[in-house]
Structure 1
Amino acid sequence: MKFVKALVLLLVTVMAVPAFAGDIDLAKKSVLNDILKRGELRVGFDAGYPPFEMTDKSGNFVGFDIDLGKELAKSMGVKFVPVNTDFDGMIPSLLSGKFDVIISGMTLTQERNMKIGFSEPYLVMGQTVLVAAKHKGTVKSYKDLNDPKFIVVSRMGTTGEEATKKYLPKATYKSFDKEVDCAMEVVNGRADAFVYDLPVNEVFQAQQGKDKTYLLNEPFTFEPMAVGYKQGDPDFANFINHFLRQLKNDGRYERMYNKWLRSDAWQSQLK
């Protein structure tokens, strides 16, 4: 009986050695080690998404996501390196090693999650509608736009586009490369509505809309925003998630939220 127990213990030990070695090898391959060796964290984003990532009057990148990236770099003790990239090429650029993480107001969707890994959500958003003022009193819900007579716009390759196609399949849809182009289509009377994230539509309503548009500000989708990274890196994923939990519980997150999402004072910084 003792011999059997000893044999079982020996087999378990022999099997555990390769597994342990595999864990060490996996840890060595983590992008976390590359970041520490370089002394910099490269963060990918698209600087056309207020109030998350923008360019100020001095040409500096500012916004909620920029501050989030800076805090993540600070927690690692490395330099923050911003990498401005078109949103359509964001995932391919991450996979090709152009930067280490995506912090760009990116919604965690199942389709994207099959290509890259995501952290726990750092913010939950939803789609809203910026509507031409001429429809006030008749278009009271996004559902009222589900008709071919309405031209609805959104940015190509975003969840705004997905939501429009899913919830307003009968509307006449047009896509554009930038958010500002979509909003100006409505402001200038060439489109009836712009479907996009609440903070962005709030900014456009305040800056450009005024008496030309109105905002249906009740989100009609559930969209968690998260940090994107390459799949197969549990150590990096663990670090980011613990960082986010710390950020949300030590006062920094609330200060960032108040600065960028509860106040419009930052608008004076823009071009």
Structure 2
Amino acid sequence: MTKRCVQMLLLLGVVCLLVTGCGGTQQGNSTDGAGGQAGEAAGTGANMTVQPGTFQFAMSGMAKPYNYTDGENNLVGFDVEIATEISKRLGLEPVPVQTPWGSILQGLKAGKYDAIIGGMSITEERQQQVDFSQPYLIMQAVMFVNENNSKGIKGKEDLKGKVVGVVTASTYKDFALELVGPEGRVKEYETDLFAMQELKQEGRVDVVITDLGVGMDAIKNGNIPAMPVGEPLFLDECGIPVQKGNQELLDAVNKALDEMKQDGTYEAISKKWFNKNMLSPGNE
């Protein structure tokens, strides 16, 4: 064998060793890298929200003073301030999203936004579809009538055979159907304000069932000749729903709410909009 052949064989062996060594190193790095990335995602909450760095919360934008659009078409109100404060405590940019109430739950389930902060009642049916935070608001369902009240409605026992207006896809609908009976009728409206406006002309609806705060604001600012009657029909505990199984976001929202209640931020926002703590069922 010539000297040149020996040199070629030695060179080939070195190359083989290098290739084998790099292959082993690459396999090890690939495994470590995958594990590291998975751990990083779980630890930093990269998948907690639809769009990293933002907290997108949905509402109808038509439930004044909870959430509505101002003169510059910006979403404002109690819900918006609560949501913005939660975003701040999560270290995320707040992004309000206006969407029709009738399809708002489907939008959350489809991943169009991270949460709904718009006065959604916690019900067993909804809990099967989404995960709710602790209550952040207690709403009082009240009956409103035209100020003339020619039919003399004073309480829920007077609703049999009557026409009752409610907002669509609300907990008020099922309750109203029970009260009016087979001879009555329940009319649905896109918003509480639209329902309340029906009371301007007596006879279109006999009663509107809605939240006390929403109804009183409509009377005050919408020039509606209506008034509340009777005792509250029921109390609605409202939570913040997130997608089913998003425990990380749910825990973060609950933690933020706890902190807001403890340090007085929640009560300050609540009294700004309603002059009362909206987690208290009475008027104090």
| Matching residue's letter, 1:101 | A
Unaligned runs of 5+ in 2: 1-34, 277-284
Residue 241 in 1 paired to residue 257 in 2? no
Contact kept? 1:198, 1:217, Cα under 8 Å: no
Aligned residue number for residue 220 of structure 1: 233
Q: Please give the TM-score of this superposition, normalised by the length of structure 2.
A: 0.77
- The equivalences for 1:6-21 within 5 A come to none
Could you say which residue in structure 2 is the equivalent of 1:177? 190
Q: Structure 1: which 5+ runs fail to align?
A: 1-20, 264-271
* Conservation of the 8 A alpha-carbon contact between 2:101 and 2:190: no
Sequence identity (%): 25
Residues 1-271 of structure 1 mapped to structure 2, 5 A cutoff: 28=42, 33-35=47-49, 38-135=52-149, 138-146=152-160, 148=161, 150-170=162-182, 171-189=184-202, 190-208=204-222, 212-216=225-229, 218-262=231-275
What is the match of residue 18 of structure 1? Answer: none
1:137–1:246 CA distance, 2 compared to 1 (3 A): same
Contact (CA 8 Å) 1:30, 1:236: kept in 2 or not? Answer: no
Please give the alpha-carbon distance, in whole angstroms, between the structure 2 residues aligned to 1:115 and 1:32: 23
Output the CA distance in 1 between the equivalents of 2:50 and 2:234: 38
Q: What secondary structure, in the 3-state scheme, does the structure 1 residue paired with 2:82 have?
A: helix
Q: CA deviation at 1:31?
A: 6.5
Deviations 1:30-71 (A, max 9, x none): 976443972111111110011111011121110111011101
Q: Is the Cα contact below 8 Å between 2:56 and 2:115 reproduced in 1?
A: yes
Q: 1:157 to 1:143 in 2, by over 3 A?
A: same
TM-aligned CA deviation for residue 87 of structure 1? 0.8
Q: 1:153: how far off?
A: 0.8
Larger Rg: 1 or 2? Answer: 2
> What amino acid is the match of 2:80?
I
Q: Which moves more between the two structures, 106-115 or 124-133?
A: 124-133
| Contact residue 159 and residue 179 of structure 2 kept, 8 A | no
Deviation track 1:90-143 (CA, whole Å, cap 9, x = no partner) reads: 111111111011101101111111100000001111211110122268211122
Give the secondary structure class of the aligned counterpart of 1:160: helix
Look up the equivalent residue of 2:176 and give its one-letter code: T
| Equivalent residue letter for 2:245 | G
* Structure richer in strand, relative to its length: 2
How many residues of Structure 1 are paired with residues of Structure 2 in the alignment? 238
Q: CA deviation at 1:83?
A: 0.9
Please, what TM-score do these two structures have when normalized by structure 1? 0.80
Secondary structure (helix, strand or coil) at the match of 1:104 reads: coil
**Cα RMSD for the two superposed structures:** 2.5
Give, in whole Å, the separation in 1 of the partners of 2:227 and 2:239.
Answer: 29
Cα distance in 2, alignment partners of residues 85 and 50 from structure 1: 15
Structure 1 pair 192–246 and aligned structure 2 pair: CA distance change class (3 A): same
CA distance in 2, matches of 1:82, 1:119: 18
Moved over 3 A (4+): 29-37
Is the Cα–Cα contact under 8 Å of residues 55 and 95 in structure 2 kept in the other structure? yes
- What amino acid sits opposite 2:164 in the alignment? V
Deviates more, 1:133-142 or 1:71-80: 133-142
Structure 2 CA distance for aligned equivalents of residues 37 and 180 of structure 1: 32
* Code of the aligned partner of 1:72: I
Partner SS state of residue 71, structure 2: coil
Distance change (3 Å), C-alpha of 1:204 and 1:37:
closer
